[in-house]
Structure formats: structure tokens, C-alpha cells
Amino acid sequence: MKLIFCPHCHDVRKLHYEVVSCRCGKSSGQYLADGVQARVMGDAIPLGILNSSFVAAIKARPEDGMVERVESFVIPRGYGTVE
């Protein structure tokens, strides 16, 4: 799963096929037609959440107590699935 982070307003938005923008409008992005490649625009910093980690955390979601961790990462410049 890909998201964008705006360094100006600190908003985080999940990417969709239509363009999504942060609250201040200085960062935006969208998935391309293949659903894997993404385009980020403005000052957006792309983030990723490891899908398998996310699904495992949802399945293991406790009623109370310790939370399950989800692996996330900052997508580096020039990464193959983000332009």
C-alpha cells in the first residue's frame, strides 16, 4: 500500500487511482492504471506499508492489550514503482 506524506501540513493520504491531495495542496499523488506504479507530485514524500504485515496485524488484532506492529517505510527517490 502506498501513501504520501506532506512535509508542510504533515498530512498523510492513501493513494487511489484518482489524484489525492493533502490538506494544504502542496503534495498529491495517484496510482497508475496497473495499480502498482504510482505518481507523486509537488513535495509529496511517498511511503509504503508492507501489505503482508498489514494483513497479519488485522488478523491478529487483539481485543485489548498490546497492539500488532505494521511494517512501513519511506520509499526512496528513484524507486522503481514511484515516479
For residue 67, what pLDDT is reported? 80
The domain locations on the chain are 2-74
Residue by residue, pLDDT tens for the chain (83 residues) are 999 999 999 999 999 999 999 999 999 999 999 998 999 999 999 999 999 999 998 888 888 877 888 999 999 887 767 86
**pTM summary value:** 0.84
**Bridge partners of residue 27, in order along the sequence:** 42
For residue 62, what pLDDT is reported? 81
For residue 4, what pLDDT is reported? 97
